Chains A and B, each alone.
Chain A
């Protein structure tokens, strides 16, 4: 892997410059310390970048929202004439992602390409540059080392930044990344052997800082062998309040609902995020519901990530980000299920 160096002082200027050519998304701190992935508005970008925070704890909603919004229109119609509302392709720069979230995006990229191509997602996502800024301080719900999805990746990114003080070591992971570094060469410096050594130490420190350790492989094995007792699902199904939050915030969740809206003869067809824990998710028009019982939906929710994704793609659908637990009002998280199943 080739390396370069990016002084932290140059980061803002780099983003400003890049946003001329790329739709640039960066983590900006908003109210009360909430950090969100925000598109830089060309007019206000310098001002916005004052709030740039690459040391953020976690983005509440994962970056999938930039390519798969919570609500989008599929097409509009007026007097029976349909007009598509596909967003035109534009190059997007996602600067400041965490490794787990990049794994999430790679997963959803693969999903929306498989079989039929989903033009709405792919037009947004096909021309993008993924820049990881690796985690320094994993949170207590994080378990990326167990799922082998962080705090740093070996591949799958275009650039990976390792924080080594007042500068970052830049690992170039693809041709696109190389092109980017070349185009914006004036912001990058040579990386010394020392810098590389420091980055190795920083990576190791970050890995050791992950406190939650799970026997992920053992859990996957048990899921694939159908050795998960029904009682676990029943217990969770009873406690769950069916907010859908754990699935809405999951970097690899892709389910959606489709609905129409119309007034007089004009309207549109839209899609929005959906979650498999809702009873209506499988209820047919006749009223018949193959997953009527709550525990069946809970089992679906976990088996999709920990068994079926694995069977279909070879990797599980869980990237160890811990968001499901952070966003659950009743403190349920996939890490608890993994832990319990792996230990039984």
Chain B
């Protein structure tokens, strides 16, 4: 029996938990079992608690259908081969395709579930070895708007404050975040603050989420109308003189433009767009402005729109207007979904930046990386994003893709389009722990170690860089992703990925990445450090933009409201929104293999309003067909008041009733994030 302190694999809360392992006498050393997971009592986020997923994180690791040997496609199925053959195949094919079509024909998808070190290596592989900036990961699908929007307004695209600061806040403005479902340990802090300390709560969400029952003010806007209601709040705050003149003068620029833009967004005008009653808008504006420690909390409901960047900028404007940035228990707090999506972004698994958000177009930055990596001519043009990669693949321009720990067939919009794109590729290699829907398309599958089988670090949503620790040897012949990536680099003739332990990778990261400058494994015990941590003595940073913004002065970047790309019409007369639920996680590869979670919600469903259900003669549990211009799915109905009339909601975890078969691949023009939250569908009883 052994026990290690590690970080939970599920959401961006990054709870500290212990994994208990057992080597059974009848199982080999490479067949250790994880027999328990329980909370760390002193960890700043978990504080002795976990959500149901964390409490059951031990189970999926041991499942017998873990990928245990390298596989190559053969005769309509897969054949086991040696690592030698598999790795040779991957490196050879990628090099050949680069030779034949150029480096722009290659794409690399990194993983928001893999460690910081592994994300760093993936982008290093793409850039130093294959000389392409076509590296991206699923942040494109979730918080790409945040990275762009907050970088533009504040100079830094990360959550401004910390999770424990929720415990002292006076007011929360929660929008587009089903916090109790998606970030339970943060949602719980909101519940406690509201119930035990009398904190105020404004919830703005088209769906009546659980948190709404505690709300001081609940506003149900129409999907995709966020710029309007946020501008309306600014309008009221300016009109009633509730803004902080001194703060605006000293710390921001461009206020006049904001004032001009929001002038037309009066509560009356905005009510027409958003359907939010005007007096609620006024009350919410006053409550937010007058609360001293007010925190904006948001997630996919704000970011996953064709106007995602505008939505984020508008929230930033609202916060700056009322001096709610740069102090404890305030700020603009995007809740990062995956356990390490923050880290994957920080470590440069993005087409336009190296680690630390240093631009690939910046000559000095390139020179620094070229020096450290001992290569010349790192690519200087920003590469393709995830959404563009699949478009180019379908067009036949992108020929090869190397995917690590991602499942685009279920997670990306317009699944049929993704499937066709994958089929069109000349070569697809995948690092995975289970045979996912995406892995089915691979030419080579490399079995990867789970989070329990390697050392490394994750960065949670509050910028906390914390350790994961190896509890058991990788099962079967699996290897940690960092070893796999290093091997491929080596076989491609590159000598700069010769590491014996992830801590060495972190040392290299620290030298190249100012915000991680002071991070090293010996400093991360026991519970990590929050970046920016620029030097070895720096204690880490709980909240950002203290005294001044990361870019100096914060910029008001006002936006005009624009409707979503595809709204209901006569044929497709319902609005579809997609999202997540508490019991499952993203594409379900781990949570659906966990008995307690699977028992709670064994199959997909659609939420439909009782009045709509009655009109369409749909009963609770009845089978329905939902169709959009992209495709159709069959699923079971849950009749609930949670969704507005004319709207339905489908959680995207279930591959047999995959929400993304229906979703619209239209993207935000700058962030390239898909509009998962709004598209037009029709629904009928079967």
A residues at B contact (CB < 8 Å): 30-34, 36, 38-39, 57-58, 60-61, 65, 69-73, 76, 85, 238-239, 241-245, 248-249, 257, 259, 261-263, 266-267, 272, 274, 278-280, 283, 287, 326-331
- CB–CB B36/A71 < 8 A: yes
Output the least CB separation between B643 and chain A (Å): 20
- A sample of 10 more A-B contacts (CB under 8 A), given A32-B5, A261-B64, A330-B192, is A31-B40, A31-B42, A33-B526, A70-B20, A70-B36, A71-B34, A73-B33, A245-B50, A272-B59, A328-B49
On whether A34 and B40 interact (CB within 8 A), knowing A71-B35, A330-B192, the answer reads yes
A135 to B372: give the CA distance in the assembly, Å: 56
B596 touches A257 (CB 8 A): yes
Tell me the chain B residues, 1-52 only, with Cβ under 8 Å from chain A: 1, 3, 5, 16, 18, 20, 22, 24, 26, 33-43, 48-52
Q: Is the pair B621, A287 in contact by a Cβ cutoff of 8 Å?
A: yes
CA of A331 to CA of B48, assembled, Å: 11
| Contact B51–A329 (Cβ < 8 Å) | yes
**CB of A292, distance to nearest CB on chain B (Å):** 12
**Contact between A72 and B35 (Cβ–Cβ < 8 Å)?**
yes
User: Which of B175-198 touch A at CB < 8 Å?
Assistant: 180, 184-185, 187-189, 191-192, 195-196
Contact check, B38 vs A60: say whether CB atoms are below 8 A apart.
yes
Q: Can you list 18 A-B contacts with CB-CB less than 8 angstroms, sorted by A residue number?
A: A34-B41, A70-B35, A70-B36, A71-B59, A71-B62, A239-B195, A243-B52, A244-B52, A245-B50, A257-B596, A274-B596, A278-B596, A283-B599, A326-B41, A326-B49, A329-B188, A330-B188, A331-B192
A261 touches B35 (CB 8 A): no
CA distance A280 to B52 in the complex (A): 13
Residue of B nearest to A61 (CB): B38
CA distance A65 to B22 in the complex (A): 13
A241 lies within 8 A of B184 (CB) = yes
A261 CB contacts on chain B under 8 angstroms: 62-64
The 10 closest A-B pairs by CB, nearest first: A32-B526, A329-B188, A70-B36, A263-B64, A280-B599, A31-B526, A259-B595, A32-B42, A329-B49, A31-B5
Chain B residues with CB under 8 A of A266: 64
Q: Closest chain B residue to A76 by CB distance?
A: B26
Max chain A C-beta neighbours (<10 A), residue from B40, B49, B191: B49
- Known contacts A327-B49, A329-B49: A244-B42 contact under CB 8 Å: no
Residue among B43, B191, B196 with most chain A CB within 10 A: B191
**Closest residue of A by beta carbon distance from B188:** A329
- What residues on A are CB-neighbors of B185 within 8 Å? 329
Tell whether, in the assembled complex, residue A331 and residue B40 are in contact, meaning their CB atoms are under 8 Å apart.
Answer: no
Bound-state CA distance A85–B24 (Å) is: 10
Q: Is the CB of A327 within 8 A of B187?
A: no
The listed residue with most B CB atoms (<10 A of its CB), out of A60, A69, A249, is: A60
Q: Which of A65, A241, A261, A283 has the most CB of B within 10 A?
A: A241
Which of A32, A38, A243, A283 is the one whose CB lies under 8 Å from B527? A32
Chain B 190-208 interface residues, beta-carbon cutoff 8 Å to A: 191-192, 195-196
Chain B residues in 8 Å Cβ range of A248: 38, 55
Asked if A245 and B55 sit within 8 Å, CB to CB, the answer is yes
Chain B residue numbers with a CB within 8 Å of A76 are: 26
Which residues on the A side are within 8 Å of B16 (C-beta)?
A: 32
Given contacts A257-B599, A326-B41, A329-B184, contact A36 B3 (CB under 8 A): yes
Alpha-carbon distance between A73 and B185 when the two chains are bound, in angstroms: 31
Query: Chain B's nearest CB lies how many Å from the CB of A265?
Result: 11
Residue B65 at the chain A interface, CB threshold 8 Å = yes
Q: Report if B256 contacts A (CB, 8 A).
A: no
Bound CA span A130–B247, Å = 63
Contact A60 to B48, CB < 8 A, known contacts A32-B526, A239-B195: yes
How many pairs of A and B residues are in contact by the CB < 8 Å rule?
Answer: 139
A279: chain B residues at CB < 8 Å are 600
**What is the distance, in angstroms, from A207's C-beta to the closest C-beta of chain B?**
24
Most buried by A among B16, B48, B192: B48
B272 at the interface (CB under 8 A from A): no
Q: How many chain B residues have a CB neighbour from A under 8 Å?
A: 54
Give chain A nearest CB distance to B14 CB in angstroms. 14
- Using Cβ atoms and an 8 Å threshold, which residues of chain A touch B50? 243, 245, 327
Tell whether, in the assembled complex, residue A242 and residue B621 are in contact, meaning their CB atoms are under 8 Å apart.
Answer: no
B535-551 Cβ-contact flags toward A at 8 Å (1 or 0): 00000000000000000
Which residues from chain B contact A72 at a C-beta distance below 8 Å? 35
Q: How far is the CA of A267 from the CA of B43 in the complex (A)?
A: 36
Set of chain B residues within 8 Å of A34, measured between Cβ atoms = 5, 18, 40-42
Q: Give A257 to B595 CA distance when docked, in angstroms.
A: 8
Chain B nearest CB, measured from A220 CB (Å): 27
A72 nearest CB across to chain B (Å): 7
CB distance from A32 to the nearest CB of B (A): 3
For residue B130, CB closer than 8 A to chain A, the reply is: no
Q: How far is the CB of B211 from chain A (nearest CB, A)?
A: 11
Residue numbers in A under 8 Å from B402 (CB-CB): none
Docked-complex contact B36 and A69, CB < 8 angstroms: yes
- Point out the residues of chain A lying under 8 angstroms from B48, CB to CB: 60, 326-327
**Among B18, B51, B595, B621, which residue has its beta carbon within 8 angstroms of that of A36?**
B18
Residues of B within 8 A of A283 (CB): 599
Is the C-beta of B362 less than 8 angstroms from some C-beta in chain A?
A: no
Assess whether A241 is in contact with B36, with CB atoms less than 8 Å apart: no
- Are B64 and A242 closer than 8 Å at their CB atoms? no
A69 touches B35 (CB 8 A): yes
In the complex the two chains form, is A32's CB within 8 Å of B1's CB?
A: no
Q: Which of B205-220 contact A (CB under 8 A)?
A: 213
- Flag if B196 contacts A243 (CB, 8 Å): no
Complex contact A38–B3 (CB within 8 A): yes
Q: What is the minimal beta-carbon distance from B23 to any residue of chain A, in angstroms?
A: 12
In the assembled complex, the CB of A123 is this many whole angstroms from the nearest CB of chain B, namely: 15
- Please give me the residue from chain A that is nearest to B184 by CB atom: A241
Per the bound structure, the CA–CA distance linking A239 and B194 in Å amounts to: 11
Instruction: State in angstroms the CA–CA spacing of A295 and B414 once bound together.
Output: 40
Q: How far is the CA of A78 from the CA of B37 in the complex (A)?
A: 28
Query: How far apart sit A85 and B180, CA to CA, in the bound complex (Å)?
Result: 39
**Is B257 engaged at the interface, CB distance under 8 Å to the other chain?**
no
Nearest-Cβ distance from residue A323 to partner chain B, whole angstroms: 8
B57 to chain A, nearest CB (A): 11
Write the chain B residue with the least CB distance to A36.
Answer: B3
**Which residue on chain A has the smallest CB distance to residue B51?**
A243
Q: Which of A33, A70, A85, A241 contacts B188 (CB 8 A)?
A: A241
Q: Once the chains are docked, how many angstroms separate the CA of A344 from the CA of B621?
A: 41
- Residues of chain A within 8 A (CB-CB) of B39 are 60, 245, 327
Q: Which of B18, B41, B54 counts the most chain A CB atoms within 10 A?
A: B41
Report the separation of the CA atoms of residues A57 and B38 in the bound assembly, to the nearest whole angstrom: 17
Residue B58 at the chain A interface, CB threshold 8 Å: yes
A34-B42, A60-B39, A278-B596 known; A39 vs B188 contact (CB < 8 Å): no
B525 contacts partner chain A, Cβ-Cβ < 8 Å: yes
Nearest opposing residue in chain A for B40, CB measure:
A34
Known interface pairs A257-B599, A278-B596; A70-B184 also in contact (CB < 8 Å): no
Q: Which residues of B contact A70 (CB under 8 A)?
A: 20, 35-38, 58
Scoring B40, B51, B55, B189 by chain A CB atoms within 10 A of each residue's CB, the highest score goes to: B55
Alpha-carbon gap, A245 to B39, bound state (A): 9
Residues of A within 8 A of B59 (CB): 71, 272
Complex CA gap A239/B185 in Å reads: 13
Determine whether the beta carbon of B65 is less than 8 Å from that of A263.
Answer: yes
Identify the closest chain A residue to B42 (Cβ): A32
How many whole Å from B26's CB to the nearest CB in chain A?
A: 8
Chain A positions within 8 Å of B37 at CB level = 70
- Assess the B49–A245 pair: CB atoms within 8 A: yes
Given contact pairs A38-B3, A280-B600, A326-B48, A241 touches B42 in the complex (Cβ within 8 A): no
Residue pair A272, B596 in contact (C-beta under 8 Å): yes
CB nearest to A88 among chain B residues = B25
In the docked arrangement, what's the CA distance between A43 and B62, Å?
Answer: 27
Collect the chain B residues with CB atoms within 8 Å of residue A238's CB: 213
* Interfacial chain B residues near A39, Cβ < 8 Å: 1
For A257, what are the chain B residues with a Cβ–Cβ distance below 8 Å? 595-596, 599
Q: Give Cα A262–Cα B599 distance, bound, in whole angstroms.
A: 17
What's the minimum C-beta distance from A84 to chain B, rounded to whole angstroms? 11
